[in-house]
A and B are shown apart, each in its own frame.
Chain A
Amino acid sequence: NAGVTQTPKFQVLKTGQSMTLQCAQDMNHNSMYWYRQDPGMGLRLIYYSASEGTTDKGEVPNGYNVSRLNKREFSLRLESAAPSQTSVYFCASKYRYSRHPTGELFFGEGSRLTVL
């Protein structure tokens, strides 16, 4: 059971380049999330998808787009990367509240992105 899988694990981009971070979960979770982690700032929510077919903005959505491709997959796209987007990106998933009482998040291993 792989849990939450993110690719790539490491990426270096030049300013203005685009890329997509991929995330897949095999736990039959309904909700999926993208966070970024920067030193001293905890995790900040970029976008989330409460269920297949829906996406919503989080705290820091500017410069990003997302696609909930199906129930398993949730991708994060940087259209024109900027140095301020250098960060560690985490994908996470969980059951919706109504399906599972604990509702805890399960995280992928992270994707370390550097924008030069």
Chain B
Amino acid sequence: ELKVEQNPLFLSMQEGKNYTIYCNYSTTSDRLYWYRQDPGKSLESLFVLLSNGAVKQEGRLMASLDTKARLSTLHITAAVHDLSATYFCAVDDSGFNKFYFGSGTKLNVKP
């Protein structure tokens, strides 16, 4: 069974600082997804990474994928309070049409 590990699980940071969330997975896959969840809400798709070396950016967030290392990163640049949320990575086990999620990283950006 595919395992997906995120770290850190909790992240408290000041506005204006930079930080990176890591997502490791246990089996070969060339598709990785990042989602955002606000408290009490559903999951919203942020990034879809479809190949080795893929990099996507939206505002202060940038995601990358290294399929050889089985690692994806979500980099936060100059954090703002509005980025406070829980971020999940998910891997598509394509051969079996299943999605596996990490435990999530709860980000709190303090003003």
Contact = CB atoms under 8 A, between A and B. Distances in A.
Binding between chains A and B: yes
Interface of A: 31, 33, 35, 40-45, 48, 50, 58-59, 90, 92, 96-97, 101-110
A59 B3 CA distance: 11
Contacts of B33: 104-105
B94 interface: yes
Report the contact-size class of chain B (Cβ under 8 Å from the partner). 20 to 34
Contacts of B9: 40
B88 interface: yes
A54 to B, nearest CB: 10
A103 B45 CA distance: 11
Prevailing SS type, chain A contact patch: loop
Nearest to A58: B98
Contacts of B48: 102-104
Interface of B: 1, 4, 9, 31, 33, 41-45, 48, 50, 88, 90, 92, 94, 97-104
B97 A59 contact: no
